[in-house]
Amino acid sequence: MITGKEKKPLIKNLPGKNAKKIIERDKKYVANTTKASPAVVKEAKGIVFEDVDGNIFFDFVSGVGVVNVGHSHPKVVEAIKKQADNFIHFAGTDYYYQVQVDLAEKLCNIAPGRWNKKVYFGNSGAEAIECAIKLTRWATNKKFFISFIGAFHGRTMGAMALTASKIVHKQRFFPWMPGVVHIPYPNPYRNPFGIDGYEEPDELTNAVINYIEYIFKHFLPGDEVAALFSEPIQGEGGYVVPPKNFFRTLKKFLEEKNILLVDDEIQAGFGRTGRMWAIEHFGIQPDIITSAKSIASGLPLSACIYPSKIDFGVKGAHSTTFGGNPVACAASLATIELLEKGLIKNAERQGKLIGKRLKEFVESYEIVGDARGIGLMQATEIVKDKKSKKVFPKARDEIVERCFKKGILLIGCGESAIRYIPPLCINEEQMNNAMDLVEEAIKETGANLKS
């Protein structure tokens, strides 16, 4: 039995026989999706999981940014059980129950902005994005959208139209929703403007704003743009943190043009960065927020939070059977309480620790080109060498594999980066021990690929 408080991973039996069998059956019966590492979980608590062969791992993926409060937190489990005993489903879109209103009210209160707000509940991140697409078209009667190159907003036909992260997300799927124009993201480490965004953050910000002005002159009618969608920190696209002043400048520009800003907090939100919402680090209030992933600690739930004045004006314009599921809403309320009562603070504390370690890796190892992130949303970018900054996915994959064999579950992002997103309940000793193992893997990979 694991407790979640284990100080170190313990690998005895890898690759294990039981894991192999399940993976073979999975290959036979389960759709080809995005499988990343051969982790076959049996039990998970806090930041720790045990696989079906008795190996004990540290989870630095959190179910891809979902279990921010830790696996199976007792308070979340209790809330789920209590609600499931009462009723599991009643169609919250068509009828009424308190737990849905309680959660909507809480989300409206904690979302940035003093205006009156409302919440649309869906089941997945992509659905929250679809809601924002339909809502902003509904409210503005304008047709076009802007999003960023490198963005990930989901895989449904509307959300996928906004996504521009990896070509595999779009190959063979055209036509997706028309009307989206992509612009460069202010990636300080590598951008098409050739600007060093760490040294010249204002120049990088201005380059992006000038680019929007430029396309408004040539092919995109600015007064027909309903909304700009952005992640506060690009997630799947590489954990890219924009310059500090970027969103302030962007928001001012958008307000002048009467364009709504949709802040996609699906990966960065819910305490991960050491604030409830990642956009709080940038000092602005977006018009609309989308949330999912960690919102209900692993139960399927998403939310689109928007000003009440732009609500769908007619009944039936938008809805979904499972939206606002009561068990998921109960899990979400318990999750928010845990975050507010200490986990957000811990994310900030542990984020400083890991941020320092990752920056030291950049100093010490030629293949670690960049380290970036806020709170417990951190990444390293792996390169051939620091001068050329050439991407090195082979080395990235080898580091991830070596870490797995040492008992640290990691996952890549972007072309050549690794994300570090443990549950926010990680303690200092666990963090230091995990980082020692990651450092070993980086050192071994560097030596292996050199020889």
Residue numbers of the site for ligand PLP (CB under 6 A)? 124-126, 129, 152-154, 231, 235-236, 264, 266-267, 292
The distance between the two most distant Cα atoms of the chain, rounded to a whole number of Å, is: 66
Report the distance separating Cα 271 and Cα 283, nearest Å: 16
CB closer to ligand PLP out of 234 and 445: 234
Choice between 126 and 303, CB closer to ligand PLP: 126
Q: In the complex, which residue's CB is closest to ligand PLP?
A: 125
Q: What's the min distance (Å) between Cβ of 260 and ligand PLP?
A: 17
415: left (phi over 0), alpha (psi -120 to 50) or beta: alpha
Q: Quick one: 296 or 400, whose CB is closer to ligand PLP? A: 296
Rank residues 124 and 430 by Cβ distance to ligand PLP and give the closer one.
Answer: 124
- Minimum CB separation of residue 319 from ligand PLP in Å reads 18
For residues 139 and 132, what is the distance between their CA atoms, to the nearest angstrom? 10
CB of 296 to ligand PLP, least distance (A): 12
Joined tokens for residue 90: 């009643």
CB closer to ligand PLP, 368 vs 411: 411
- Residue 127 CB, nearest approach to ligand PLP (Å): 7
Of the pair 122, 446, the CB lying nearest ligand PLP is at 122
- Rank residues 34 and 98 by Cβ distance to ligand PLP and give the closer one: 34
Minimum Å distance from CB 264 to ligand PLP?
5
The angle, 0 to 180 degrees and rounded to 10, between the axes of the packed helices 428-450 and 344-364 is 30
- Smallest gap from Cβ 265 to ligand PLP, in A, equals 8
Residue 302: beta bridge partners? 122
In the complex, the smallest distance separating the C-beta of residue 303 from ligand PLP, rounded to whole angstroms, is 12
The strand pairing partners of 59, in sequence order, are 409
